[in-house]
């Protein structure tokens, strides 16, 4: 019998408890032993819950319980959660977590601290999709050339609904929260940080690169408007929040941002809360992973897979899948050097000479325009919708700054990269 203690019995923790009950027989058969949740910890004991397990509001009741073999951390946050998992490891307990924010900051220290103890985190990236398993084990014979995909269910759900139904941004965000997809602080989702945390975890497994969220390009979907969505449709694109990791010689490019993707690409067709990640290995070629990226049951499915795995063998693996530096130590590519095609929406006063001044600025920054559309509105302003040929990030950023300072430009231009 394996005894589990769960720290944080909210959306995911509740599903873990329920699935361990509902699927008890098949889980025991696969684990080779019975798995029982001995107790759980929550912040507020007065909330009404119907879980059928012992609850406490003191993490030490689980962490110091000698009968508990596996501590499952599902409380979220960074530093408190770090304290909890360190305490569990100190007490020689195996750990399972779904906490990507924790891993985005402390994964290398945790690999060190875990040593021979099992430390698993399948649910931290892409909810129910076994992407950690695929990347760390299934593709371990390959040099990983790129990882690209939709890694945040909340944003994909929101963009899908904005595109299909024209529903307002705030209303859909509320819906995603009610469905249990969003983080406790949803700016982590819409600001791109959650996807960045996941990308950093994948990039560590693929490239051994130790980057923090502050080191990489992270943008969210807060500025995407119905007008951008309509432009995308008109020109055969879809807008998705993508996480991208690409190896280029001895450098790795890591970025998260809203992206215009050709509507015929597989990733463009991934809608709703679904996530989809493409991983290209030098020997295997392209592989694709698709499934529910958020939600209690999908995420708990991955958490329980880790519990079963530990119950079967009790053995640890190197947490990130390597013991020695990978690829001779790759460096992070500077954000300025990123190369892409771009789309810009520039709101201007609709008067003579404006268009020619804007196009001159593009030329002065060595940026070649591919398409240009002007959409006038009733208030004597107009939106210029411009897509470019391939350009360098530094040039685009300088140009946007230049454009923003012009007296006939009414607001900061919106930029979306074309992937």
Residue 283 bears catalytic tag:
no
State how far Cα 176 lies from the chain centre. Answer: 15
Binding mask 174-203 for ligand NAP (x = CB under 6 A): ------xx-xx-------------------
Cα dist from 84 to 78, 80, 120, whole Å: 10, 6, 15
DSSP-based three-state secondary structure for 188: helix
Nearer to ligand NAP, 178 or 323 (CB): 178
> Cα dist. 92→63, 65, 86, 98, 262 in Å?
10, 11, 10, 19, 50
| Cβ neighbours of residue 392 closer than 8 Å, sequence gap 6 or more | 336, 337, 338, 339
H/E segment holding residue 303: helix 296-313
Nearer to ligand HSE, 256 or 400 (CB): 256
Query: Residues 38, 93, 100, 198: which is the catalytic one?
Result: 198
Residue 152 contacts which entry, ligand HSE, ligand NAP, none (Cβ below 5-8 A, type-dependent) = ligand HSE
Rule CB under 6 A: say whether 321 interacts with ligand NAP: no
| CA angle, 199 then 202 then 204, to 5° | 110
- Residue 409 has what DSSP assignment? B
Residue 267 to residue 261: CA distance in whole angstroms: 8
- Look up residue 314 and give its two tokens: 């009790």
Is residue 129 within 8 A of residue 303, CB to CB? The reply is no
257 φ, ψ to 5°?
-165, 165
Q: Which of residues 53-82 bind ligand NAP (CB under 6 A)?
A: 59, 74-76, 80
Q: List, in sequence order, the alpha helices (H) in 122-192.
A: 131-133, 153-165, 169-178, 187-190
DSSP strand pairing (381-388 vs 54-56): unpaired
Considering only residues 92 to 121 of the shown chain, the ones binding ligand NAP according to CB under 6 A are 98-100
Sole residue written with tokens 């998260």 = 256
Piece of 7-15, 331-339, 374-382, 390-398 that binds ligand NAP (CB under 6 A): 7-15
In whole angstroms, how close is the CB of 98 to ligand NAP at the nearest point? 4
Task: Please report, as residue ranges, which positions from 140 to 169 form the binding site for ligand HSE (by CB under 6 A).
Answer: 152-154
Q: What residue 196 binds from ligand NAP, ligand HSE, none (CB within 5 to 8 A, per partner kind)? A: none
- Tokens 């190896």 belong to residue: 247
Interaction pattern, residues 94-133, with ligand HSE; x per rule: CB under 6 A: ---------------------------------x------
Q: Of ligand HSE, ligand NAP, none, which one does residue 43 interact with (CB within 5 to 8 Å by kind)?
A: ligand NAP
Write out the two tokens for 148.
Answer: 């690209």
By beta-carbon proximity to ligand NAP, the closer residue of 9 and 304 is 9
Helix (H), strand (E) counts: the chain: 14, 18
* Interaction between residue 11 and ligand NAP (CB under 6 A): yes
**Total residues in contact with ligand HSE, by rule CB under 6 A:** 11
Site for ligand HSE in 170-189 (CB under 6 A): 181-183, 189
Active site (catalytic) residues? 198
- What residues line the site for ligand HSE (CB under 6 A)? 127, 152-154, 181-183, 189, 194, 293-294
Which residues sit at the interface with ligand NAP, rule CB under 6 A?
8-13, 41-44, 47, 59, 74-76, 80, 98-100, 123, 127, 180-181, 183-184, 294-295, 299
């Amino acid at each position: 019998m394996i005894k589990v203690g769960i720290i944080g019995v909210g959306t995911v923790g509740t599903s873990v408890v329920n699935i361990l009950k509902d699927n008890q027989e098949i889980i025991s058969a696969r684990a080779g032993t019975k798995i029982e949740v001995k107790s759980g910890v929550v912040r507020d004991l007065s909330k009404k819950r119907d879980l059928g397990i012992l609850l406490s509001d003191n993490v030490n009741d689980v962490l110091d319980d000698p009968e508990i073999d596996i501590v499952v951390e599902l409380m979220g946050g960074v530093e408190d959660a770090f304290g909890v998992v360190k305490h569990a490891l100190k007490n020689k307990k195996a750990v399972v977590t779904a906490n990507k924010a924790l891993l985005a900051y402390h994964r290398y220290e945790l690999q060190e601290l875990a040593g021979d103890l099992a430390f698993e985190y399948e649910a931290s990236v892409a909810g129910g999709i076994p992407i950690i398993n695929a990347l760390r084990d299934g593709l371990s014979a390959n040099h990983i050339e790129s990882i690209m995909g939709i890694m945040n269910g909340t944003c994909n759900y929101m963009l899908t609904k904005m595109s299909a139904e024209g529903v307002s941004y705030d209303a859909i965000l509320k819906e995603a929260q009610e469905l249990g997809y969003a983080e406790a602080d949803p700016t982590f989702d819409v600001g791109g940080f959650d996807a960045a945390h996941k990308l950093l975890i994948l990039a560590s497994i693929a490239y051994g690169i130790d980057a923090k969220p502050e080191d990489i390009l992270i943008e969210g979907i807060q500025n995407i408007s119905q007008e951008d969505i309509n432009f995308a449709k008109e020109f055969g694109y879809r807008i998705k929040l993508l996480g991208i990791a690409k190896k280029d010689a001895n450098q790795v490019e890591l970025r998260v941002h809203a992206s215009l993707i050709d509507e015929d690409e597989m990733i463009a067709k991934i809608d709703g809360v679904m996530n989809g990640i493409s991983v290209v290995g030098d020997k295997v070629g392209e592989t694709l992973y698709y499934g529910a990226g958020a939600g209690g049951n999908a995420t708990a499915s991955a958490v329980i897979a880790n519990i079963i795995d530990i119950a079967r063998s009790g053995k640890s693996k190197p947490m990130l899948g390597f013991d020695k530096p990978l690829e001779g130590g790759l460096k992070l590519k500077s954000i300025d050097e990123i190369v892409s095609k771009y789309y810009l929406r520039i709101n201007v006063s609709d008067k003579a000479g404006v268009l020619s001044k804007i196009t001159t600025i593009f030329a002065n920054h060595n940026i070649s325009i591919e398409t240009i559309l002007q959409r006038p509105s009733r208030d004597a302003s107009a939106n210029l919708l411009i897509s470019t040929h391939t350009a360098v990030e530094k040039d685009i950023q300088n140009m946007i700054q230049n454009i923003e300072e012009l007296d006939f430009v009414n607001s900061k231009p919106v930029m979306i990269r074309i992937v």
